[in-house]
Amino acid sequence: MDKKICTYICTGCGIGDAIDIDALTEVVTGEMSQDCKTHEALCSADGRAMIQKDIDEDGVNVVNIAACSFRVMQDEFDFGESVITVRCNLREGVAWCRPEDADEEYTNELAQDYVRMYCTKATKMEIPEPYKLETINRRILVMGGGISGLTAAIEASKAGYKVLLVECSDKLGGKAAGWRKQLPTKAPWTDLEEPTIGGLVSAVEADGNIEVKLNTEVARIAGTPGDYYVTLKPAGTQSEWDAPAKVTTDEQDKIDKGEMEDPNAGLKHYMERDPNAEVVGAVVLATGWNPADVSEYEHLGYGKIKNVVTNAEFEKLAKEGKVPANVAFIQSPGGEEDDKDFPFCNSVTSMVALKQAKYVREDNPEGKAYILYQHMRTPGNMELFYKAAQNDDGIFLSKAAVTAVEENGDGTLTVKAKNTLLGEDVDLTVDMVVLAAGMVPTTHDAPTINLAYRQGPAFLDLELFDGYADSNFICFPYETRRTGIYTCGGVRKAMTMEEAVDDATGATLKAIQCIESADRGVAVHPRSGDKTYPEFFFQRCTQCKRCTEECPFGALDDDEKGTPKPNPTRCRRCGTCMGACPERIIGFADYNIDMIGSMVKAIEVPDDDEDKLRFVAFVCENDAYPALDMAAMRRHGIDNLVRVIPVRCLGSVNMVWIKDAMSSGMDGAILLGCKFGDNYQCHFVKGSELANRRMENIGETLGSLGLETERVAVREVAINEYDKIPQIISEFVEEIKELGPNPFKGF
């Protein structure tokens, strides 16, 4: 497009008091050769009217708003799809974050650098053209016919969407169909309720929008959101589409070199479209859970002693009316020193023990139920259910370590426990022992979803989350690391029936949102509505596979030549592929290597003043940048030698930006991003971790050039650490000051 750019500088909110506006205007009109106007409140009706008049009458189509953070006033500065809007942060980024001893000259230099950077950005940005599929399918595949799957199907149908519900067994209802009673869902939260699963089954069977396939499994899912094609197979059988082996990067290199046989050599058709496949737009994964294996705890006797059963097995006995008079419910494996719970134990297993203890009391007037635990968890209103059990004179609860379960000659069992709340060891004589087997998600042991993705048939790094199909557990519930596939119920986390119903509703809404977003050609969470998608200049692609390997969401496959094959509707627009590419052939219309690199080069680097060192900070827009804004709102001072550039994710940071910064004389570069590791907070899963790994590599490059590796750094910042971020930045600056100026300065 032919651009007509105008920069609008706001003087309100303290900006005009902190910054020399005349000097700032001269930078725009003189140095950057662009039009410039000022206003005391650009977000006001008068301010916006001034901008709109320039758009309507003077043909301005690129608006550079030099005012507040891009995180605020988004609606006020939305001038339509035909106008590019750039946001230069002078309020939080300069005026509100001045240190107490701020030098006026330094403050103005900071503001002028930001104006240069964003005037440059305005020249580089383009209006994106959304990617749209030729056809869109709005049917939703629901995998699993238990309580979550049934609810998801019903809710999708209510919203007007067709549903294909696949269940591997010969009937609907899942595990809930075998429950005798369910936990309370209403006040007074003390009484068990009759199961409602039958009503859900009847509703699904009577719904014309829902097609049910029993005794059926998913052999594979290929394609993209809005155009998935699903191959089905009879439950328990093999299929030509069964998931191929997942090879490591090293193994793939050996395959490419001919040093190792490709284990998938006979499955190259796996990426092809099955002509018999059913087409859907999104997937709700509701395949549930399986009881955890508790046989490893030999001292408890499971598998050896007849009347030692799991909680799932006891529920079946209870429904058949076979509840003994005296039962011990063991919540943790115990042992001499072990105070941990069984694997996958949780609040649900605690509440199930209370529920099943009530069975003992209901069926046996003189019955006794002993609940031996290390931790009891009954959140929310279920605390009332817990108290009701405590008030039952036939239910005994005690913190205890179970050291042994032994058979007696008369068919009873002795449970030996120590470290009880009574402060003494006890021996309990009971008829049956029930072990609190945890709820293992079905994705823990098998792919289940069987995706025809280069990255494998399931999800990456599930070992970090005990097999739960997680994307970002805190920020984005229901999501998986595969766009268009949403989890609910026991496959997502352990939950009660009531929670599973709510969970399924949420996952269904996400699936609907994804289909409609794909139809409009825009991204889903967390960059909802983003019309950009990565574009590749394949003529320079070396088939290094870094983009396909590092994409957190499986948006890239390979074609038959090993060249990346983009699937735009799978993409979440994080830019990790852009940061990974050594050839720099990947970019977005409004976010690319050249644009950010040019912004870095637009920063003025004094070469004759050792006090005026220059630092660039690439800051993740998801956690770290909001933390900076919040620090500024509280008037915390940020070192004004640092120039901040927001990035979509640290995973999108290409190392050429660091090289450009250092070669231009920058004295240091710091990346501020989300926490990574086991308790990661990255919205795009691995961005901070990848950036940290890449920075280690560039550190070696700096060393070979005679530059100290300390001049580049990655720091983790949570969104609520706004009070720490000024210190994090200051400490980095002080470290570099001790090293002295960049020796390349002035070259």
Tokens of 292: 């955890």
- How far does CA 19 lie from the centroid of its chain? 40
Q: Among 411, 437, 463, where does a domain finish?
A: 437
Element (H, E) at 716: strand 712-716
Residues 147 and 225 in one domain: yes
CA distances from 487 to 44, 66, 282, 386, 511 (A): 44, 42, 11, 29, 10
426 - beta bridge partners? 417
Tokens of 744: 């390349």
Residues 309 and 214 in one domain: no
Element (H, E) at 434: strand 432-435
d(CA 497, CA 480): 21
Residues 80 and 197 in one domain: no
Largest CA distance in the chain: 99
Residue 419 placed within a domain? yes
Residues 388 and 469 in one domain: no
Q: Are 66 and 91 in contact (CB under 8 A)?
A: no
Residue 527 placed within a domain? no
d(CA 382, CA 351): 8
Residues 579 and 654 in one domain: no
Residue 622 placed within a domain? yes
Residue 664 placed within a domain? yes
Local structure of residue 128 (DSSP, 8 states) = P
Q: Among 404, 437, 470, where does a domain finish?
A: 437
Render the burial of 458-469: b for 16+ CB within 10 Å, e for the rest: bbbebeebebbb
Residues 619 and 747 in one domain: yes
Q: What is the CATH number of the domain that holds 699?
A: 3.40.50
Q: Are 18 and 107 in contact (CB under 8 A)?
A: yes
Residue 133 placed within a domain? no
Residue 403 placed within a domain? yes
Q: Are 162 and 303 in contact (CB under 8 A)?
A: no
Residues 446 and 399 in one domain: no
Residues 144 and 259 in one domain: yes
Question: Into how many domains does the chain fold?
Answer: 5
Residues 413 and 452 in one domain: no
Residue 643's CB: how many other CB atoms inside 10 A?
A: 24
Q: What pLDDT sits at residue 222?
A: 92
Q: Is 205 exposed, middle or buried (0-12, 13-18, 19+ CB in 10 A)?
A: exposed
| Residue appearing with tokens 């450009």 | 660
Residues 333 and 454 in one domain: no
Residue 134 placed within a domain? no
d(CA 388, CA 191): 9
Q: Among 406, 437, 468, where does a domain finish?
A: 437
Mean pLDDT, contiguous 10-residue spans, the chain (747 residues): 94 96 97 96 97 97 97 95 96 95 94 98 95 95 98 98 98 96 94 95 98 96 95 90 69 73 60 83 96 93 95 97 97 80 92 98 95 94 95 94 94 91 88 96 87 81 64 76 93 92 96 97 92 94 92 88 90 96 95 97 87 94 95 96 97 93 92 85 88 84 80 93 95 94 77
346 - beta bridge partners? none
d(CA 84, CA 590): 9
Q: What pLDDT sits at residue 475?
A: 73
Q: What is the CATH number of the domain that holds 351?
A: 3.50.50.60
Q: What pLDDT sits at residue 251?
A: 75
Tokens of 495: 């939950």
- How many secondary structure helices (H) and strands (E) does the chain include? 18, 30
Q: What is the CATH number of the domain that holds 563?
A: 3.30.70.20
Residues 449 and 373 in one domain: no
Tell me how far apart the terminal alpha carbons of the chain are, to the nearest angstrom: 36
d(CA 530, CA 524): 8
Residues 277 and 344 in one domain: no
What sections of 59-102 are H helices per DSSP? none
Q: Are 83 and 56 in contact (CB under 8 A)?
A: no
Q: What's the one-letter identity of residue 598?
A: S
d(CA 147, CA 287): 10
Residue 629 placed within a domain? yes
| Domain that includes residue 25, residue range | 1-127
